[in-house]
């Protein structure tokens, strides 16, 4: 499968990782200063004695890039700042790639929503992304769809349009995270299996081990990702309800015609009011069902982001035997980047996930936020929730606390302290690999950050209190 692009931001999840707050104008675009005081950024398309034509580019924290083309009279322009030729060519390339990405995304959505006959793909944007039909491993009589990539091998019994969409995202997640953390190991493609129903997934994930209560898992030993969804059930129920609603609407329309004939062409006000309300209720019900399906799709895509990051880091960057990532850092990185925006093969996540940030602040208020010492030495089992009834299981609340703590610590190290990625984290991992025990882990962390544990913990909690939705910090009180 050739390299393709997929716009995650429209689902959940811009040009490059920002090293400064989002309000700072980026220095990688042409700029024009207008007489009215505005400064605009983008790609200069044409410059004559009479006009300046520019493709404007707007990049805001947590949002996809927006572009528009505008012309300005020369007397409206005070000054033009030009990029060097090589930089402008690179910007033009990225914008063209972004356009192709948008076209591909829209084409895949049309394919998904229209649900054409299997094997029929739009001619624009989807060419070259045709799945291979294979027998499904749970049922040889059922057709599944297979995709191959340098980083993964996917098989799924999802509907073909959704299988195409998933494969596009997976390819871009792996490509984007590899640009952020370049591969250092000779990894092997991760086997990814996605079930369209939960029972099939649960049977596969729980074979030969305790029953896990997670929507997806990455098995590092087998180098495989297993995931399940409720999409088959939801889409089937939605289709049945939509047909039922269409039938009701047909009956309503027929009844309306009959009454109109009986009343000499007039529709009684009471009936007209009831008809309007009935049509609105049918339309609203269909829209709610469609929204539930979209949310389920988004959840699947986000889960796959998370597990794919685990798979890539453990397979291509950090040797799980010689230099493994501690569980808190592994889970933290997956959470930080699972909600990122991917555009033109690059990933940005320099703003906090609002739900996670609210959860961290709630734990702090309630006195339940784990100490930094506990986070660094927490057992990997504290992240796992197993089905109820098993002895020694981790509660869902304990697992939530472990995930939230690992997320904010990793986010702070990445965007607050600028210690991830980088050479210092490699030195930290080397030290961990050579020394065992909780105190050795604390010492290694203090060496990495250059701060005593208690001091770092204070700065992190202060950071949490001042962190804004766009990733910038409020002034200290």
pLDDT tens, residue by residue, 74-103: 999 999 999 999 999 999 998 998 888 778
Rounded to the nearest integer, the mean pLDDT of the chain is 84
Q: How confident is the model at residue 227 (pLDDT cuts 50, 70, 90)?
A: very high
pLDDT at 338: 93
- Report the C-alpha gap between 78 and 6 in whole angstroms: 38
For helices 354-365 and 396-411, the axis angle rounded to 10 degrees is 110
CA dihedral 173, 175, 176, 178 (to 10 degrees): 120
Model-wide pTM > 0.85: no
Q: What pLDDT shows up at residue 129?
A: 63
Tokens 């453990």, located at residue: 314
Quickly list DSSP for 208-240: TSPPB--SEEEETTTTEEEEE-SHHHHHHHHHH
Q: Which residues, 6 or more positions from 291, have their beta carbon under 8 angstroms from its beta carbon?
A: none
Q: Say yes or no to pLDDT of 127 above 80.
A: no
| Encoded tokens for 373 | 């010492």
CA distance 308 to 84: 37
The CB-side HSE value for 381 (13 A sphere, CA atoms) comes to 7
Among 455, 433, 432, CA closest to 442:
432
* Structure confidence at residue 119 (pLDDT): 44
Residue 316: predicted pLDDT: 95
* 190, 225 contact by CB (below 8 A): yes
- Buried-exposed string 348-378: b where 16+ CB fall within 10 A, e elsewhere: bbbbbbeebbebbbebeeeeebbebbbbbbb
pLDDT of 118 over the 60 cut: no
Give the pLDDT score at 396. 79
- The H-or-E segment that residue 348 falls in is strand 346-348
Q: What whole-number distance in Å separates Cα of residue 200 and Cα of residue 229?
A: 10
Q: What does the alpha-carbon distance between residue 253 and residue 355 come to, in Å, rounded to a whole number?
A: 45
Nearest alpha-carbon partner for 339 in 288, 292, 365, 305: 305
Report residue 435's pLDDT band, with 50, 70 and 90 as the boundaries: confident
Q: Which of 50-59, 122-131, 168-177, 238-247 has the lowest mean pLDDT?
A: 122-131
Region 441-466: mean pLDDT is 96
Burial level of 74, CB count in 10 A (0-12/13-18/19+)?
exposed
CA distance 12 to 129: 23
- Tokens representing residue 284 in the block: 């609203």
What is the structure's pLDDT at 457?
A: 97
Q: What is the pLDDT, as a whole number, of residue 392?
A: 47
At residue 386, the pLDDT reads 59
384-393, 396-405, 456-465: least confidently modelled range: 384-393
Q: DSSP labels for 298-315?
A: HHHHHHHHHHHHHHHIII
d(CA 344, CA 93): 9
131 versus 51: the higher-pLDDT residue is 51
More confident call, 342 vs 408: 408
Residue 124 predicted with pLDDT over 60: no
What is the per-residue pLDDT for 3?
Answer: 33
């Amino acid at each position: 499968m050739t390299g393709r692009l997929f716009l995650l931001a429209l689902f959940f999840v811009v040009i490059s990782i920002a090293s400064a707050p989002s309000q700072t104008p980026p220095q990688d675009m042409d700029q024009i200063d207008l007489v009215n005081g505005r400064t605009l950024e983008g790609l200069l398309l044409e410059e004559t004695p009479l006009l300046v034509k520019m493709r404007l580019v707007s990049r805001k924290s947590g949002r996809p890039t927006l572009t528009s083309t505008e012309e300005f009279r020369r007397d409206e322009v005070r000054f033009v700042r030009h990029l060097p030729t090589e930089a402008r060519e690179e910007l033009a390339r990225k914008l063209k790639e972004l356009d192709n990405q948008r076209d591909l995304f829209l084409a895949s959505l049309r394919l998904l929503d229209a649900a054409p006959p299997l094997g029929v793909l739009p001619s624009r944007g989807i060419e070259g992304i045709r799945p291979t039909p294979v027998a499904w491993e749970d049922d040889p009589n059922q057709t599944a769809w297979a995709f191959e990539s340098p980083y993964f091998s996917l098989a799924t019994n999802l509907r073909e349009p959704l299988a195409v969409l998933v494969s596009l995202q997976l390819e871009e997640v792996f490509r984007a995270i590899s640009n952020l953390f370049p591969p250092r190991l000779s990894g092997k493609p991760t086997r990814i299996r996605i079930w369209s129903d939960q029972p099939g997934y649960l049977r596969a994930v729980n074979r030969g081990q305790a029953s896990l209560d997670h929507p997806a898992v990455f098995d590092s030993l087998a180098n495989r990702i297993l995931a399940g969804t409720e999409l088959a059930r939801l889409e089937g129920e939605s289709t049945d309800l939509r047909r039922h609603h269409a039938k009701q609407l047909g009956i309503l329309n027929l009844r309306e015609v009959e009454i109109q004939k009986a009343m000499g062409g007039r529709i009684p006000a009471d009936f007209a009011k009831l008809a309007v309300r009935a049509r609105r209720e049918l339309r609203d019900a269909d829209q709610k069902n469609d929204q539930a399906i979209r949310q389920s799709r988004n959840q699947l895509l986000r889960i796959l982001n998370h597990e794919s990051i685990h798979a890539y880091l453990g397979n291509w960057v950090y040797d799980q035997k010689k230099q493994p990532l501690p569980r808190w850092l592994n889970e933290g990185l997956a959470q930080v980047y699972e909600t990122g925006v991917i555009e033109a093969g690059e990933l940005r996540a320099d703003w906090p996930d609002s739900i996670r940030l609210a959860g961290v602040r709630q734990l702090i208020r309630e006195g339940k936020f784990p100490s930094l010492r506990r986070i660094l030495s927490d057992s990997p089992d504290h992240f796992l929730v197993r089905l109820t009834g098993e002895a020694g299981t981790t509660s869902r609340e304990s697992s939530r606390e472990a995930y939230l703590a690992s997320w904010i610590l990793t986010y702070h190290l990445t965007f607050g302290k600028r210690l991830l990625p980088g050479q210092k984290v490699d030195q930290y991992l080397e030290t961990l690999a050579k020394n065992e025990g909780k105190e050795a882990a604390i010492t290694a962390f203090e060496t990495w950050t250059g701060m005593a544990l208690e001091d770092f913990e204070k700065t992190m909690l202060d950071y949490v209190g001042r962190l804004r939705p766009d990733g910038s910090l409020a002034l200290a009180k």
